[in-house]
Chain A
């Protein structure tokens, strides 16, 4: 089955700096890679996703890159703000897999003033 590894487990940045979270996956058939943000005590919410037919996607301060050959994808947050502080999860799934998401272990991002 799919295995998703995520690094780092914790990340502390100064407000205005950039943050990068990296994930690797094992199943070469995986073709959908969402990123979820979970604030303390809240539900996970999708912030951006990418499919395997593109290498990069951007939405304002958030971008995701995908390297299918190396089987890794990354989340980039620029100009970080205190409200970006949360746990971020990467995930992977594949067509025909019943939309089963395999999540990474999460990254606790703390944006300090």
Chain B
């Protein structure tokens, strides 16, 4: 089944902990993204990788560190979690080049208590 997948789907953790979210796509795309959707549903890009190279790095606290071991995987590690990090995190992928449709994963709902 071709898709963008993320694990875990739900993540509940306490302030100060470190956690990771994993993303994989089997669509053969070269570019992958991380988005954050807050409680007001606002979708904002955080990072983008093209062929394992970081190409977009928005104003995100350096507690967030993306890692792309290969072009089919993009993981997000978050250190010292804060209450304000609670959100839904979406991974997405697209072909590289110019402007293309982005395919989103199912999302990871992170709750920091």
Binding site for B on A (CB under 8 A): 31-32, 34, 38, 42-46, 49, 51, 87, 89, 93-95, 97-103, 105-106
Contacts and interface: CB of A to CB of B under 8 A. Distances in A.
B33 to A, nearest CB: 8
A51 B99 CA distance: 9
Q: How large is the interface on B (under 10, 10 to 19, 20 to 34, 35 or more residues)?
A: 20 to 34
B31 A99 contact: yes
Nearest to B4: A43
Interface of B: 31, 40-45, 48, 50, 55-56, 90, 94, 96, 98-102, 104-107
Contacts, number: 55
Given A44-B90, A89-B43, A106-B41, A98 B101 contact: no
Nearest to A51: B99
Contacts of B44: 103
